[in-house]
Amino acid sequence: MDKQGNPIGSVERKPQPENFFEGKELERWQRYFCDMANVFICCLDSYGNPLTPLEGNGEEALKINKIIDGEQFQNMLLRVSKSTLEDQAIETTVYPNVRLAVISGKAAGKPVINWLVCGVLSDADDIEDYEKPPLEGITCLIGRKQFERAVDAIRGMTDMMIHDRRCALQAGEESERSRKKQQEAEKESRRTKVFIEMMQIPLNGHKGESAANKLLAFIGNFLDVSAAGLCRNRGKSGRVDIVSKWCDGKSCWDMDKEIGGREFTLFKRERAVVLSAGSMVNDREKEELAALGLKSVIVMPVVLRGRTSMRVFFGETQRERAWELDEIKFVNDSVKILQKILPL
């Protein structure tokens, strides 16, 4: 029983982050330990909450569950899990033939999994020194020395489990890091290639609107967006005209109809505007996104001859998108190229 009188196994479970074993895996090991040693056992987190129910010889486990002193095993668990000198402890109970053990499996000095092991002895003695008479009605019995050896064996196998699991996790993490590095390298290579192609646009004879069309296509394809456009403001008003446009071919979005000649504050700002899925968007921005038929958008000013007269934008019409920092940086660097080739 725990301090609140709840039997082990019915306490609300609170799996801890340090538990890197799956529940079913723990249960398989638990059954193996029960069969191997004729003991009753359950797995606990570092707070004493059960990760598996107490298991043993059928209904006898329920009986053992009820006679366990929750305060005793909590104190044992606290002592062993915090100790740098011991990983297990065995104590007597109020019953002369019942022994309680706690095993703490640790990694880097921190508890990973803990076992509560209970054994009913077949060779108990000194009956008169205990508060209660021997526990009866239990057929799953073990000798005192065998119980001590079983606890040692469970601790040893637990250490092996943790070592093997850590090796597997580290190998997986190493593989994941390697995969991410490869992806980043491939993306960086592709980004560099796109920048080189954009810088060659004027060298290939493209100027003005033709150059802008080519550049929007390069950026749009790289970002995998629905549409991109270059807009010119009409004086100080928020009304804009489409100078150049690009669509991915999959989106049915009439850019001239949605934007051309209309007023949007998004195209009046002197700084970049990034509206993403999950970002803070005010009511006006929501209205303008809806009016534009866009889910997410990046708008950046284009500075020519010292003043901002145009804006370039990249938008999603089909899905909400959370723009990544390197995507925003890519657009910003691309705009610098656009500002160089437009006056040509």
* Two structure tokens written together for 217: 């296509």
Instruction: Look at 122-126, 186-190, 260-264 and tell me which has the smallest mean pLDDT.
Output: 260-264
The contacts of residue 95 (CB under 8 Å, 6+ apart) are 67, 130, 132, 133, 134, 135
**What confidence score (pLDDT) does residue 117 get?**
94
* 87 against 16, higher pLDDT: 87
What letter does residue 203 receive in the DSSP assignment? Answer: G
259 falls in which pLDDT band (50, 70, 90)? low
258 falls in which pLDDT band (50, 70, 90)? low
46-100 pLDDT, tens digit per residue, is 777 888 889 888 889 999 999 999 889 889 998 998 888 888 999 999 999 999 9
Q: Is residue 1 part of a domain?
A: no
Same domain, 82 and 211: no
Question: Does the pLDDT at position 206 exceed 80?
Answer: no
**What confidence score (pLDDT) does residue 97 get?**
93
Same domain, 51 and 123: yes
Number of domains observed in the structure of the chain: 2
* 259 against 228, higher pLDDT: 228
Same domain, 142 and 206: no
**CATH number assigned to the domain comprising residue 298:** 3.30.450.40
| Domain end among 152, 169, 186 | 169
Q: Is residue 179 part of a domain?
A: no
Map residue 282 onto helix, strand or coil: coil
Same domain, 205 and 159: no
* Two structure tokens written together for 165: 């699991």
106-116 pLDDT, tens digit per residue, is 888 888 889 99
Q: How far is Cα 289 from Cα 283, in angstroms, rounded to an integer? A: 10
**What confidence score (pLDDT) does residue 238 get?**
59
* 1 against 273, higher pLDDT: 273
Predicted TM-score (pTM) of this structure: 0.52
12 falls in which pLDDT band (50, 70, 90)? very low
Helix ranges (H only) for 83-229 are 144-199, 208-223
Same domain, 131 and 35: yes
Q: Is residue 186 part of a domain?
A: no
Q: Is residue 9 part of a domain?
A: no
Question: Does the pLDDT at position 323 exceed 80?
Answer: yes
**What confidence score (pLDDT) does residue 280 get?**
78
Same domain, 219 and 335: yes
1 falls in which pLDDT band (50, 70, 90)? very low
Same domain, 99 and 228: no
Mean pLDDT of 199-227: 85
Q: Is residue 276 part of a domain?
A: yes
Distances (CA, A) of 170 to 23, 110, 146, 179: 20, 17, 36, 14
* 8 against 340, higher pLDDT: 340
282 falls in which pLDDT band (50, 70, 90)? confident
Share of the chain above pLDDT 90, in %: 25
Same domain, 150 and 205: no
25 falls in which pLDDT band (50, 70, 90)? confident
324-340 pLDDT, tens digit per residue, is 998 999 999 999 888 88
* Two structure tokens written together for 130: 């205990």
Mean pLDDT of 229-249: 78
**CATH number assigned to the domain comprising residue 106:** 3.30.450
Q: Is residue 74 part of a domain?
A: yes
Q: Is residue 184 part of a domain?
A: no
Q: Which phi and psi (to 5°) does residue 279 adopt?
A: -85, 165
**What confidence score (pLDDT) does residue 86 get?**
85
| Domain end among 112, 146, 169 | 169
Closest CA to 97 of 115, 117, 119: 119
| Domain end among 147, 169, 191 | 169
Mean pLDDT, the chain, whole residue set: 83
Q: Is residue 248 part of a domain?
A: yes
297-313 pLDDT, tens digit per residue, is 999 999 888 888 788 99
Instruction: Look at 2-11, 187-196, 215-224, 245-254 and tell me which has the smallest mean pLDDT.
Output: 2-11
- Domain of 139 in residue numbering reads as 23-169
